[in-house]
Amino acid sequence: MILVNTSLDTVDIDSSRLPDVVVETKIYEPDIQTKETYFSIAIQVFIPFLIAGFGMVGAGLVLDLVQHWSVFEEITELVILVPALLGLKGNLEMTLASRLSTQANLGHMDTPKQQWSMIVGNLTLIQCQAIVVGFLGSVIAVVMGGIKSNDVELDHAYLLCASSLVTVSLASFVLGLITAGVIVLSRHCHINPDNVATPIAASLGDITSLALLSWIATVLYESIGTQDWLAPLIISGYILVIPLWIWIAKKNQHTRDVLYNGWTPVMAAMLISSMGGLILDFMVSRFEGIAVFQPVINGVGGNLVAVQASRISTALHKQAELGILTSDSETDEDTVIFISPVSGFCGKGVHARTTRVLMAMVVPGHLIFIYTINYMKAGHTNLTTLFVIVYLCAAVLQVAALMYIAYIMIHWMWKKKIDPDNSAIPYLTSMGDLLGISLLAIAFQFLYLVGDHETEEVPGE
């Protein structure tokens, strides 16, 4: 307020000055990203990254526990559904975080009216997307399970569908509210929301979704034979409410375009994550200890690449119109679509510098998380030196591949006039899921072949 009053007072003294322009540039013009240092990026990202990581550790511990529940052992399709549902935080909540972070950095969320319109529209949009994607994800899990076992039980199909719908709807609403609140608070505290919003969006995402899925699936499993109407009633209720969410999202100018054009990346991401679910379903029966590490390796890769994707997208939005590549930095590296891995990781551009900061978090982050899991006595796997080295190699390879793909994908999307805020993160996080579980499976198989049989310790054998 002092700045504004001072500028207005100068109008009487010198009419040649334009106070409105001065005030506007003081509020909106500073480019947060160009002034950020390695240290400021690291601090802003690492703390939310740690919080998110412990959320993933919690999810891993939950998955390690519930895989022995009768509902998971009887209805194995639930394991196929897990990566797809956990991936929804990347498909929906992280995309929401990226979209709102860009709008906040552009100064479009600075008044209560703007915030209300933006948040309500986006919450209804992700409800609509969550219901549709959750339904299709359960159908894919049923089909994949049927192909695997040559049999589909109707009661089990209803349970999968109803569990999926309730899980994604409740989780998306709660996490969407938290994400929006974090972005508004970050703006007030002069913290770049691109650095903190996506990890915070993921911090409770995995454990919330997994706990909800396990609880709801158990309740519906116990109702089979006594309350067979419950699951079909839940499914019918969600299908009937979809037109209401579509109508609200369509009336909002901030979400109308995403409602029409934002389905392809979400659907494709769900299919990619489901393929990871098939691999997980196969590997859990072979290496029981793999389950507890799956949310961690997938989540770390997804969180870090989502931060990078959100930052690149915001930078592109600030610099030029959609479809035009320019750069405010001293180097033109950031305007090239296809770059070499050397330029991507060792270049002088702002995005290469951010990549180095994010890559530096992979090893210490994973060490903290896996030793926390070990301290909690979960995973049926002892942390031998060989295991830790092989695991960290898989994790570093996953994140490095995602960072390189992210740069090329986002710049290519921008050049093709596709808004990366709406499209990039679903593809990247689902590829992170597929890469993570694939590399983890290869790591466990390698350890078994070289004689580290602690990776295949099965209780009761």
pLDDT number for residue 33: 43
Greater confidence, 13 or 57?
Answer: 57
The segment with the largest mean pLDDT, out of 40-44, 49-53, 111-115, 118-122, is 118-122
pLDDT number for residue 382: 74
pLDDT number for residue 203: 65
Average pLDDT over residues 159-188: 87
Greater confidence, 52 or 198?
Answer: 52
Average pLDDT over residues 214-240: 88
pLDDT exceeds cutoff 70 at 459 = no
Helix (H) or strand (E) holding 292: none
The H helix count followed by the E strand count for the chain is: 20, 0
Going from the C-alpha of 247 to that of each of 164, 168, 176, 179, 242, the distances in angstroms are: 23, 20, 19, 23, 9
Residues in the chain: 461
**What's the mean per-residue pLDDT of the chain?**
79
Greater confidence, 18 or 127?
Answer: 127
DSSP state of 349: S
Q: Could you report the per-residue pLDDT of 360-400, keeping only the tens digit for each?
A: 999 999 999 888 888 876 556 678 889 899 999 999 999 99
Retrieve residue 372's tokens. Answer: 């926390």
pLDDT number for residue 34: 46
pLDDT exceeds cutoff 90 at 341 = no
Q: Do 97 and 147 meet the contact criterion of CB atoms below 8 Å apart?
A: no
**Among the ranges given (35-44, 225-234, 397-406), the one the predictor scored with the smallest mean pLDDT:** 35-44
Rounded Cα distance, 142 and 122, in Å: 30
Rounded Cα distance, 234 and 229, in Å: 9
* Residue in the structure block whose two tokens are 């009761």: 460
Based on C-alpha coordinates, what's the Rg of the chain? Answer: 23
Q: Which residues, in sequence order, are CB contacts of 290 under 8 Å at separation 6+?
A: 280, 283, 284, 440, 441, 444, 455
The dihedral of CA 15, 19, 22, 26: what is its sign? positive
Rounded Cα distance, 423 and 254, in Å: 16
Q: Could you report the per-residue pLDDT of 108-156, keeping only the tens digit for each?
A: 777 888 888 888 888 898 888 889 888 888 888 888 778 777 777 888 8
Q: pLDDT category, 35, cuts 50, 70, 90? A: low
Q: Could you report the per-residue pLDDT of 444-453, keeping only the tens digit for each?
A: 889 888 876 5
Going from the C-alpha of 388 to that of each of 206, 358, 428, 441, the distances in angstroms are: 23, 20, 25, 14
Rounded Cα distance, 380 and 63, in Å: 13
Angle at 431 between CA 204 and CA 120, to 5 degrees: 45
Going from the C-alpha of 182 to that of each of 44, 76, 92, 170, the distances in angstroms are: 13, 36, 16, 19
Going from the C-alpha of 362 to that of each of 209, 255, 295, 306, 355, the distances in angstroms are: 24, 34, 15, 14, 11
* Residue in the structure block whose two tokens are 């994973």: 366
Closest C-alpha among 360, 304, 386, 308 to residue 56: 304
